[in-house]
Structures are given as structure tokens and as C-alpha cells.
């Protein structure tokens, strides 16, 4: 058992006896969510495309005393998704929670985007989530109930520079609403968390392509900072919990108020005041992304 431990704000043993599947659990926010769920007693199941990343998280959670299994699975592969869900249900009798977190994109203007690139991101960020949700419902939640949390993006006003993922994430939110209506009578809740800027390892996946944009991101966030993985994970775990039992079909924005940036045309954002809202970081294994550690060229 590691000396340090995840500091969750939720009740210990909250998910004891429950199996929760987290896609994209080998890195970034998915890794953090998996850690918090394990700390809260869940039997965590993580999926991802990299065995190496999954193995690292398996070792971390087990060193911390948690219960976790892992499957290499590309959510775009419909048959593989079906196989994984079947095996998880056979091992644990039911899947009580699903976090549709897997996704990916690349920066590109619409005019420069190929049809193949657009379709690849939509398959990853929308169709893959559909595969998971449908199989988990058909094979488990239709009989036992459960909760689904879909990780989307803060794109209500469009997503300049990443129109493919904006379209996919908006589609996922609409799919979430349909699932809330169709599956609600079975005791299944479906909600979405629309992420703004998060200080996560996911920022490093762009290889410097949007470094300047990342460094300026907090200029249009009223709270003056990025969110932490632990803050986003706490929201996801709450939505999976019984305390969120009457929340269904909603999209909750996690962006520090950044979605209101368009108001700057009429009222510029005031400088940060002397009483900033301090970030919460209960994840004992969190690491700051490269872009936030390295000095700017002007430093």
C-alpha cells in the first residue's frame, strides 16, 4: 500500500460492490477517475488502446490497495467492445457504471480538414461511445439499472480549430439525452460532463501544435486558472452516485465559466481579484502537463 492516498471528497466505500467501466483509463482524466473510483471501493475496469499505459495504471491502483481489471479495446471496434462487455459482466455479474471518457482529436481548421480525418474523430468521440453505452445497456443495465457519464467538451458556441470533435461531442450530448429518455424507465441515468480547459496530460498529446493557445487559455476563464483532473473526477463520481439519482439527460459544464468568453466583446474580463478560488487536487499521483511546466520563449 502506498503511503500517500487519493483524497476524495465523497464518502468512503460509496461504490463498494459495484463494477464501473472507464474507457480511456490509461492516462489523463480517465486514469484519475479510475483511481478515485477504486479509492471509493469500486471494482474498476479500465479500457484503452495501449497495453503499456493500462499496465501502469493497473500497478498504481493495486499498489494503492484498489481493485482493477484492464482490457485493450478500441471503442471504434464494435465486436471487440461487445466481447469486453460480455467478459466484464461474466466476471462481475453486472456493470453498475460506465464512464465514456475515451476520445481524441487534432487541431485543424475546417477548410484544411480532410474527410478521412473528420470521420476518424467522429468515430472515436461519438460512435465509440455509442458502442459502449449500447452494449453496457443491453448486456447489464437493462436488467440491473445503472449510471452513464459521457465526457464531452465545452463547445456550445462551436469549437474553432477543432470542428470535428465539436461536432462529435455535441452529437454525444444529444445521444445522451435520447438515452436518458429511452433507458430511464429501466433505472438507467445518462448524463454528460462538458470539459473546458483541464491541466491534464492530455494537453501534451498535441506536441506543441497549440502551445500558444494553451498558455493563453486562462485569459478567458473568470476563475483565472485551468481545472484539475481531481475536480473533474469528483463531478463524474458524484453523477455516478446515488446522490445524483434524479439527474438524467443533463450536460454539466466544467469550465470555470469559460463558456461565457463571448461576453468579452461587450464587457472585458476583469483582472483576477485578491481572493482566487484555489484549485482542489486530491489525486496523489497527479503530474502537471509539460506545457504548464516549461517557460515561454519570452521568459
In order, the DSSP letters of 240-297 are: HSGGGTT--S-EEEESTTGGGGGGGGTSPPPPPPSS--PPP---TT----HHHHSPPT
Collapsing DSSP states into helix, strand and coil, what is residue 111? helix
Q: For residue 1, how far is the Cα from the chain centroid?
A: 26
User: Which of 35-44, 74-83, 209-218, 235-244 comes out lowest in average pLDDT?
Assistant: 209-218
Q: Phi and psi of 147, rounded to 5°? A: -135, 140
Confidence of residue 265 (pLDDT cuts 50, 70, 90): very low
291 pLDDT higher than 80: no
Q: What is the reported pLDDT for 206?
A: 61
Q: What is the reported pLDDT for 246?
A: 97
The closest of 171, 186, 41, 161 to 100, measured between CA atoms, is 171
Collapsing DSSP states into helix, strand and coil, what is residue 150? strand
Confidence of residue 209 (pLDDT cuts 50, 70, 90): low
Question: What pLDDT, in 10s, does the model give residues 135-183?
Answer: 999 999 999 999 999 999 988 888 877 888 889 899 999 999 999 999 9
More confident of the two residues 60 and 289: 60
Helix 128-136 with 163-183: angle, nearest 10 deg: 20
Question: What pLDDT, in 10s, does the model give residues 183-203?
Answer: 999 999 999 999 998 888 777
Question: What pLDDT, in 10s, does the model give residues 93-136?
Answer: 999 999 999 988 777 888 888 999 889 988 998 999 999 999 99
266 pLDDT higher than 50: no
Domains assigned to the chain? 19-293 (3.40.50.720)
Q: What is the reported pLDDT for 90?
A: 98
62 pLDDT higher than 50: yes
* CB-based contact 152:175 (threshold 8 Å): no
48 pLDDT higher than 90: yes
Q: Across the strands, what pairs with 188?
A: 146
The per-residue b/e assignment along 199-227, b for 16 or more CB within 10 angstroms, e otherwise, is bbbbbbeeeeebbeebeebbebbbbebbb
Cell output for 287: 503530474
256 pLDDT higher than 90: yes
Spatial CB neighbours of 135, under 8 Å, sequence gap ≥ 6 = 81, 82, 85
CA atoms within 13 A on the CB side of 243: 10
Q: Phi and psi of 148, rounded to 5°? A: -120, 130
Confidence of residue 207 (pLDDT cuts 50, 70, 90): low
User: pTM for this one?
Assistant: 0.87
CA atoms within 13 A on the CB side of 140: 27
| Pairs from 54-60 (Cβ < 8 Å, separation ≥ 24) | 54/25, 54/26, 56/26, 57/25, 57/26, 57/27, 57/31, 60/31, 60/35, 60/285
User: Which of 128-137, 242-251, 281-290 comes out lowest in average pLDDT?
Assistant: 281-290
463524474: which residue's cell?
Answer: 236
The mean pLDDT value for 252-278 works out to: 72
Q: What is the reported pLDDT for 299?
A: 46
Q: What is the reported pLDDT for 41?
A: 98
* CB-based contact 141:185 (threshold 8 Å): no
Confidence of residue 1 (pLDDT cuts 50, 70, 90): very low
Question: What pLDDT, in 10s, does the model give residues 76-88?
Answer: 999 999 999 999 9
Q: What is the reported pLDDT for 251?
A: 97
Could you give the maximum distance between any two Cα atoms of the chain, in Å? 59
Report the Cα–Cα distance between both ends of the chain, in Å, rounded.
41
Mean pLDDT of the chain: 89
25 pLDDT higher than 50: yes
Amino acid at each position: 500500500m502506498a503511503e500517500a492516498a487519493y483524497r476524495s471528497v465523497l464518502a468512503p466505500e460509496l461504490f463498494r460492490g459495484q463494477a464501473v467501466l472507464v474507457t480511456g483509463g490509461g492516462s489523463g482524466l480517465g486514469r484519475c477517475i479510475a483511481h478515485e473510483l477504486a479509492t471509493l471501493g469500486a471494482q474498476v475496469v479500465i479500457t484503452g488502446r495501449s497495453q503499456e499505459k493500462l499496465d501502469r495504471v493497473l500497478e498504481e491502483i493495486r499498489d494503492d490497495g484498489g481493485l482493477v481489471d484492464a482490457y485493450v479495446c478500441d471503442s471504434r471496434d464494435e465486436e471487440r467492445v461487445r466481447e469486453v462487455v460480455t467478459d466484464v459482466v461474466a466476471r462481475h455479474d453486472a456493470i453498475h457504471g460506465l464512464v465514456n471518457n475515451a476520445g481524441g482529436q487534432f487541431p485543424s481548421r475546417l477548410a484544411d480538414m480532410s474527410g478521412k480525418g473528420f470521420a476518424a474523430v467522429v468515430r472515436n468521440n461519438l460512435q465509440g461511445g455509442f458502442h459502449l453505452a449500447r452494449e453496457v445497456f443491453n448486456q447489464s443495465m437493462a436488467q440491473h439499472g445503472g449510471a452513464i457519464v459521457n465526457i464531452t467538451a465545452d463547445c456550445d458556441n462551436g469549437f474553432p480549430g477543432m470542428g470535428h470533435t465539436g461536432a462529435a461531442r455535441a452529437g454525444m450530448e444529444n445521444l445522451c439525452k435520447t438515452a436518458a429518455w429511452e433507458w430511464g424507465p429501466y433505472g438507467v441515468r445518462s448524463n454528460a460532463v462538458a470539459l473546458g480547459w483541464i491541466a491534464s496530460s492530455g494537453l501534451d498529446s498535441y506536441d506543441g501544435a497549440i502551445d500558444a493557445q494553451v498558455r493563453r487559455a486562462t485569459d478567458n476563464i473568470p476563475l483565472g486558472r485551468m481545472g484539475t483532473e481531481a475536480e473533474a473526477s469528483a463531478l463524474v463520481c458524484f453523477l455516478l452516485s446515488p446522490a445524483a439519482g434524479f439527474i438524467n439527460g443533463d450536460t454539466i459544464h466544467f469550465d470555470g465559466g469559460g463558456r461565457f468568453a463571448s461576453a468579452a466583446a461587450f464587457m472585458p474580463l476583469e483582472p483576477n481579484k485578491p481572493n482566487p478560488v484555489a484549485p482542489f487536487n486530491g489525486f496523489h499521483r497527479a503530474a502537471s502537463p509539460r506545457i504548464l511546466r516549461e517557460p515561454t520563449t519570452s521568459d
